[in-house]
Amino acid sequence: MDKEHVFFENYAKNWDRDRKADDRVLSSFMELAAIRPGSAILDAGCGTGVLLPYLSAAAGDEGSVEGFDYSQQMIDVAKDKFSHLANVTFTTGNVLKYAFPRKHYDVVCCLNFYPHIAEHSRDVIRRLYEALVPGGMLLIMHDLPRQAVNAIHGGAPVLPPVDILEEKLISAGFSIVMAMDTDRFYFIKVVKAADEADFVYDDEEEQPAEAHAGTHHDHHHTETKRVLNRLSRITGHVEAIKRMIEDGRDCSDVLVQLAAVHSAIAGVSRVILKDHIDHCIVDAIHEGDAEAVENLKKAINTFVK
């Protein structure tokens, strides 16, 4: 056993006493997730099962929920609390080694789990991606703000800003639906492409062709996937804002979503602008003409601003 495994084995019986869940935040997560009835759900790193009753209700009688954790003691506590839920089963295993069935789950939930697999995130994301059906949804959630989570872990950045984790998820083949990094919680919702190909990271994909020669510098965007993912994220936030307004939610919640939209728009701009600068550099080096150099200067000035 590793040290973390031993810790959870020994602490399981007192976990719920010392780590109170925020029911309001968990309810908000379920609202944002919008899980369809009948879904097959994996609760990866379920711990003592704090999310299981929410997932059980979301899945309904036709759906199923599998609570999965590395710690047998945590699973035993979860069983004691929720074995009465007819659509819930329990599995003990190591997410890095367990043979999850391929293309099986409609939804994979990771509540308060990512910091514990941060060092192995590439492999874990690959495994969860393969376990999801095409069009399946991955939820990465924490019911504490990111800064508080990292403070608990000695200040290490085990829960990164959403933009950084988004890049990793996009590289894995996911599309971003929603990402929120607030002063109350952390929430990322992504989906696996319905017509997904085999798992591949961006740095293993074919690189875009160099800018074509010619006096007219017509730069076609080569970061289409990243831009479309960020636009999808913006759309998700806008839809959330609409629901909040319709439901009469507090203005502070709406403002958090608006701030997320602003951040996502800025992210799209950065991706396109960086790509444009790369093209300008290629033009300036290969052609060495005044127009290419001036375009590069303008792009850099815009990036700095």
pLDDT > 70 in the chain, percent:
71
SS3 assignment, position 267: helix
Q: Is 131 exposed, middle or buried (0-12, 13-18, 19+ CB in 10 A)?
A: buried
Q: Could you list the beta-strand ranges (E) of the chain.
A: 40-44, 64-69, 88-92, 105-111, 132-142, 174-181, 186-192
Q: How big is the chain by its Cα radius of gyration, in Å?
A: 22
Residue 247 is inside which H or E element, if any? none
Domain ranges of the chain: 3-203, 210-304
Q: How far apart are CA 75 and CA 48, in angstroms?
A: 6
Sign of the C-alpha dihedral computed for residues 267, 24, 119 and 157 taken in this order: positive
Domain 210-304 has CATH 3.40.220.10: no
List the structure tokens of 239: 């839809």
Span 14-60, pLDDT tens digits: 777 888 888 999 999 999 999 999 999 999 999 999 999 999 999 99
CA-closest candidate to residue 114, choices 138, 136, 142: 142
Q: Please provide the average confidence, as pLDDT, over all residues in the chain.
A: 82
Identify which has the larger pLDDT, 253 or 65: 65
CATH domain 3-203 topology: Rossmann fold (3.40.50)
Q: Give the tens place of pLDDT for each residue, 87-113.
A: 999 999 999 999 999 999 999 999 999
Whether residue 295 contacts residue 280, with contact meaning beta carbons closer than 8 Å, is answered with yes
pLDDT of residue 211: 40
In SS3 terms, 92-140 reads as: ECCCCCCCCCCCCEEEEEEECCHHHHHHHHHHHHHHHHHHEEEEEEEEE
**Residue 142 pLDDT > 70, yes or no?**
yes
pTM of the model: 0.69
